[in-house]
Structure formats: C-alpha cells, structure tokens
C-alpha cells in the first residue's frame, strides 16, 4: 500500500507573531510540523505495521525551511519524502494542485492522509481540493478508522458528541483529528536515521502553470490586542460569589 | 442588486441555531438574500427567514427528496441550485457539517473559500478571519468565478428585519460515486450544551485533580445552561474526553462568558477561547497566566467557589 502523508510547516502556536509589511508575518520564529499532521503520520505508521510492504511518503508544499518539518515526519516513520519548494505563500487551491501533480508523478496512491486543519491559516479545505483533483472520496475530522479489503470504515467528529459513520473505498483522502491517536515522538536514533532518508525536491513551477495565481490572498494582517480588565473580586468568599453572580446576571445577562 | 445564496441547515424541523445571527451579520441594503434548503420543505422556514430579511427561499428536492443528509449529495445539489439561481456567492454557518459541504462545493468549483469569517464584504469579495493561533486578524481577498464563505458561529446576536418573501422550488437529481457510503450519524449521550455553540462555558484544568471532580463543574453548568470544557492537561490526564478540550488543537469557542477553574491558561488554551466576551478566572494561584488575561478573577480554591455558585444559581433562578 502506498500511503502519502501531507504535512505543513507552521509557526509554533506559542510563538510571538509580528506583522510585517502590512500582510506578512516575521518568519524568524520557531516553526514546526502542524500538530494534526503528526496524528496523520502516526496513523500511517500503524497501517504500515498492519499491511506488510506498505510505503509511507511524506509530502510538503512549502518554503525551503519546510524541510525541517519533513525531517520530523521522516523521524516519526515516513520512509522518504517529497518537498515541493515555493518561495512565496500559495493558497490552498494551488497547494492542492501541486500536491496532486507531485503525488501522481510519484505513482498511484492508495491512501492520502493529512491533519484536519493547519494551525496557522485554519483553512480546512486543502484535503477536499486534493480529493476533488484526484476524484477520490474524502472524509475529514476522522477519529477512528479501520481498513479491511480496501475499504475503510471511518468515524468522524460532529458537534455535541455526535459522530458520523462513513464507508470509503481506497484510494481516498482522510483528514484526521487529535482523537485518532497519541503520536509517538521520535527517539534520538530515529532522528539520526531520518537524516539518511531521501528527500526529493521539486520546484512548484514545474508542477503548476505559472499563469495560475492565488485566488485567496491575505491583503491585511493586524495583531489582535487584548483589552482584558483583570479586576479582582474581593471580600470574603460569599461576597466574591455574590459579585460573580451579579456579573453573570447584569453584565453578561446569561442567567 | 447582487444576489447572495445562504445555505440553511435544518434539523428535526428547526433551522439551525446561529443561522439568524449569521443572516443578521451579512444582510445589507445592496444584496438580495436567497436561502437554500435541501430536502426539507416547510413554509414555516420561509416565515421565520423573512423575519430576518431573507427575500427568497429555494426549497431543493434532490433524488426524489427521500434522501437523508449526505455531504456529497448535498454539495452537488447546492452547486446545481447556484447554477439555477445564477448566483455566484454562497454563505453558510461554519458548523461541522456545513463546513464539509462548503469545502466540497469549493473543491468541485475550484472556488475560493474562507471559513470562520468574522465579517464579509460581499461587494468587494473580502473576508476577515482570525489567523495564526488567535494572534492576528487577517483580511482575505477572494478572486474567482464563485465566492464561498462560512461565517463563524455566534458573531452577533440575531436582530429581526422583516421583509416580504417568496418560496421557490427546484428539483435536481445527482449521481453519486460508489466509493463513498455515508452511513449516517450517531449521537453519544450527552447532557450538556454543544461547546462550540454554548453561551456560557465553565472549564477545568490541572486544578480539577481528577475525573470525579468534573461533576462539580457539570452540576454548576446545569444550573446556568452552560457547557463544560477542559484544558489539554485535563484531557491528557484522562479525566475527560478529547471532545471537551478547548484550545488551539481542541474546540474553538466563542461564548459570552468563559469561566476558567483551576486552569493556568496556556497560550494554546487561550487561542481556543480568547474571543469570549467575558473571561472569568477562579484560581488559587494569583500568578497563573490566566489572571493577567481575564476580565474578572477570584483567588480562591475552586472547590469552595464553584459549589457556592451552584447553590446561588439554584436559589436565585
């Protein structure tokens, strides 16, 4: 089975984000592999252990520095990787087209996995676009999957404790959520070994015609400032609860 | 006048809560609003929607109308409806189901899509949303033959603006691939309100100490129709299920009031709840990060405060 796992290199959620040139961020902060993509790799490793002879290929569309997240994917168990190199930010339409071309050039995928969203842009759509490009079925928010006879039984999270069940044939695209597994972080030998694994670099221009431009462009970014009042409720405990009750009733009007 | 389609979700004979707030936030004098409702006909829907300024309601019947919700089928039927109405702009509420339908539509049309929008400019095709883990507000310009938006839940309260409305009917038949079988949905028993739609959330962190203690929060939540959330520590410790995790990699919430109990308030947790109108912290530690990032705080043991609050809610309602 040929399993592709799409990963994205994103700013650490704890990083301080500074806006520069009106619509960009200062990229001199810690970047790492998108957290949900780690769940996708772990799922791929589990499937590889179940189905002998499977291969896991990590693939990322990103700037040269995205190779760091590709290394993480290799250390977590991907066998080799493809890096589609870009110099500018591209939207999810172009990303999906580039992923589609690169994966198709590499061979026929049986399964394409990725995280259900990236924590930087939270676009939540690349997986659907990739699936449409391949004309593959897709399920997102996947927290449980079971593969039998080239058919995957999937459970997806909806709201309020509701779940949906889908039966989906290979080849397909699955976007996974945190609830699927607990990623095992690589050991030092795995990290060292990963450095010997092959990363193929492809320029995005060789995959997507240059004439195609992003259809979703961030034209302005502004930092969100916090204006919290930080008022301490004082007095004895009864008085504090009384004030809390008053806030809920009169200010928030929720009770 | 520009025509805009709104995809309306219905469940058990009701329009999904949050839909009217969404309509309130997008309506303006230069657009004409068309609602699209798939395989669920009721004049009651039209009457409700017209109170909020929706002029036309298109009742779509697909595959003889018998079909239950199916994301592939729904997305195809919505595309056919847009074509029939000759409308290029589609808006829905960013609910879990609608966001799948919207993404499927956008993928099929190669159309730009922005989910969780705070505001949209339907004339200039611009959308505002939060980017980079809750740290920046971004304006995105959409270009293409279609424009698709998902509005974030709970942006603004619904406000009526009645108009005259009309029902339209459209029948379509869509072919589905055989490699995808939607088997339907199942509801796990829950006695609390959906986190992403809750007006009030009471959350517990490390200070909860164990699974049983969450019953204290649940009891309090019940008295004010609130939902119970948790920090990643509480989830990773196995005290509560992942579905209750609020944060960057959990549920992102937007309530009127967020009460954080024994919860330090990491950057990642904050990213999931920072858009709350009022944040209240109950923490023994006056140096907890949440204290410097909230509106009101009580420095006390949560096990003393929460039961007292529950009692107070009981007696005063």
ipTM of the complex: 0.93
Q: Give yes or no for A248 touching B (CB within 8 A).
A: yes
Q: CB–CB of A128 and B104 under 8 A?
A: yes
Rg (Cα) of chain B, in Å, rounded?
Answer: 21
Q: Do A100 and A178 reside in the same domain of the chain?
A: yes
Give residue A74's domain range. Answer: 2-206
- B52 to chain A, closest Cα gap in Å: 23
- CATH number for position A121: 3.40.50.620
How far CA A189 is from CA of A24, A54, A152, A184, B249, in Å, comes to 37, 22, 33, 14, 28
Q: CB–CB of B305 and A254 under 8 A?
A: no
Of A23, A165, A233, the CB nearest to B186: A165
A181 assigned to some structural domain: yes
A143 assigned to some structural domain: yes
pLDDT at A157: 87
With bands split at pLDDT 50, 70 and 90, how would you rate the model's confidence at B12? Answer: confident
Which pLDDT tens digits describe chain A residue by residue (255 residues)?
999 999 999 999 889 999 999 999 999 999 999 999 999 999 999 999 999 999 999 999 999 999 999 999 999 999 999 999 999 999 999 999 999 999 999 999 999 999 999 999 999 999 999 999 999 999 999 999 999 999 999 999 887 778 999 999 999 999 999 889 999 889 999 999 999 999 999 999 999 998 899 999 999 999 987 779 999 999 999 999 999 999 999 999 998
A216 assigned to some structural domain: no
pLDDT at B316: 72
Q: Do A104 and A141 reside in the same domain of the chain?
A: yes
Neighbours of B63 (CB within 10 A): 17
Q: Do A56 and A149 reside in the same domain of the chain?
A: yes
Q: Do A57 and A140 reside in the same domain of the chain?
A: yes
Tell whether the model's pLDDT for residue B185 goes beyond 60: yes
pLDDT over 90 percentage in chain B: 82
pLDDT at B247: 92
Q: Do A153 and A234 reside in the same domain of the chain?
A: no
pLDDT at B193: 67
Q: Do A232 and A148 reside in the same domain of the chain?
A: no
Q: Do A89 and A39 reside in the same domain of the chain?
A: yes
Of A178, A215, A232, the CB nearest to B112: A215
The pair of structure tokens assigned to A43 is: 């799922």
List the alpha helices (DSSP H) in B86-225. 96-109, 214-223
Q: Do A229 and A198 reside in the same domain of the chain?
A: no
Neighbours of A160 (CB within 10 A): 17
A33 assigned to some structural domain: yes
Tell whether the model's pLDDT for residue B93 goes beyond 90: yes
How far CA A67 is from CA of A57, A105, B25, B193, in Å, comes to 14, 20, 42, 43
Q: Do A181 and A238 reside in the same domain of the chain?
A: no
A70 assigned to some structural domain: yes
Q: Residue B170 — left, alpha, or beta (φ > 0 → left; ψ -120 to 50 → alpha)?
A: beta
A32 assigned to some structural domain: yes
Q: What is the mean pLDDT of residues B34-38?
A: 98
The pair of structure tokens assigned to A107 is: 């061979």
Counting the structural domains of chain A, the total is 2
Is residue A66 within 8 A of residue A98, CB to CB? The reply is no
A219 assigned to some structural domain: no
Q: Give yes or no for B104 touching A (CB within 8 A).
A: yes
Question: Would the CA dihedral through A210, A213, A217, A220 be positive or negative?
Answer: positive
Q: What is the mean pLDDT of residues B39-63?
A: 96
Give B181's contacts (C-beta < 8 A, 6+ positions apart). Answer: A166, A167, A168
Q: Do A7 and A43 reside in the same domain of the chain?
A: yes
Q: Do A170 and A229 reside in the same domain of the chain?
A: no
pLDDT at B155: 80
Neighbours of B163 (CB within 10 A): 14
pLDDT at A210: 86
A213 assigned to some structural domain: no
Q: Do A96 and A163 reside in the same domain of the chain?
A: yes
Q: For residue A171, is the peptide bond before it cis, meaning its omega torsion is within 30 degrees of 0?
A: yes
Question: Judging by beta carbons within 10 Å of its beta carbon (0-12, 13-18, 19+), is residue B277 exposed, middle or buried?
Answer: middle
How far CA B29 is from CA of A210, B52, B117, B119, B146, in Å, comes to 39, 13, 20, 16, 21
């Amino acid at each position: 089975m040929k399993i592709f796992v799409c990963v994205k290199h994103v700013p650490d959620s704890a990083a301080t984000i500074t806006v520069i040139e009106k619509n960009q961020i200062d990229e001199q902060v810690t970047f790492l592999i998108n957290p949900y993509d780690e769940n996708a790799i772990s799922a791929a490793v589990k499937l590889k252990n179940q189905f002998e002879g499977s291969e896991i290929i990590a693939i990322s569309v990103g700037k040269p520095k995205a190779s760091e997240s590709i290394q993480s994917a290799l250390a977590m168990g991907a066998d080799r990787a493809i890096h589609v190199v870009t110099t500018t930010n591209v939207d999810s339409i172009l990303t999906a087209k580039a992923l589609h071309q690169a994966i198709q050039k590499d061979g026929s995928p049986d399964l394409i996995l990725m995280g259900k969203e990236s924590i930087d842009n939270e676009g939540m759509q690349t997986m659907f676009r990739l699936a449409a490009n391949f004309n593959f079925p897709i399920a997102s928010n996947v927290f449980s999957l079971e593969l039998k006879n080239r058919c995957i039984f999937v459970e997806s999270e909806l709201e309020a404790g509701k779940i949906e069940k889908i039966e989906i044939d290979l080849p397909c695209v699955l976007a996974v959520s945190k609830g699927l597994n607990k990623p095992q972080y690589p050991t030092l030998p795995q990290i060292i070994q990963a450095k010997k694994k092959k990363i193929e670099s492809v320029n995005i221009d060789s995959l997507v015609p240059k004439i195609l431009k992003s259809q979703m462009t961030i034209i302005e970014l502004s930092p969100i400032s916090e204006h919290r009042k930080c008022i301490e409720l004082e007095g004895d405990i009864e008085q504090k609860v009384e004030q809390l009750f008053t806030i809920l009733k009169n200010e928030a009007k929720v009770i | 006048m520009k025509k805009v389609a709104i995809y309306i979700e219905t469940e058990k004979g009701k329009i999904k809560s949050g839909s009217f707030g969404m309509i309130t936030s997008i309506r303006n004098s230069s657009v004409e609003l068309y609602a699209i409702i798939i395989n669920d006909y009721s004049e009651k829907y039209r009457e409700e929607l017209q109170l909020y300024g929706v002029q036309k309601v298109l009742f779509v019947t697909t595959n003889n109308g018998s079909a239950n919700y199916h994301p592939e089928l729904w997305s195809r039927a919505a595309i056919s409806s847009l074509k029939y109405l000759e409308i290029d702009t589609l808006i829905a509420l960013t609910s879990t189901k609608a966001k799948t339908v919207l993404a499927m539509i956008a993928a099929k049309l190669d159309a730009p899509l922005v989910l969780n929008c705070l505001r949209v400019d339907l004339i200039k095709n611009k959308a505002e949303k939060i980017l980079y883990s809750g740290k920046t507000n971004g304006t995105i310009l959409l270009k293409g033959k279609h424009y698709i938006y998902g509005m974030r839940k709970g942006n603004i309260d619904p406000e009526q603006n009645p108009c005259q409305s009309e029902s339209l009917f459209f029948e379509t038949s869509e072919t589905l691939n055989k490699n995808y079988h939607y088997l339907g949905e199942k509801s796990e028993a829950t006695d609390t309100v959906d986190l992403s739609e809750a007006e009030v959330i009471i959350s517990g962190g490390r200070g909860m100490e164990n699974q049983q203690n969450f019953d204290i929060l649940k009891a309090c939540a019940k008295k004010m129709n609130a939902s119970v959330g948790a920090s990643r520590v509480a989830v990773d410790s196995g005290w509560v299920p992942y579905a209750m995790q609020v944060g960057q990699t959990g549920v992102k919430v937007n309530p009127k009031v967020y009460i954080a109990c024994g919860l330090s308030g990491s950057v990642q947790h904050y990213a999931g709840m920072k858009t709350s109108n009022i944040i209240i912290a109950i923490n023994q530690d006056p140096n907890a990060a949440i204290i410097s990032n909230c509106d009101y705080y009580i420095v006390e043991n949560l096990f003393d405060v929460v039961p007292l609050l529950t009692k107070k809610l009981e007696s005063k309602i």
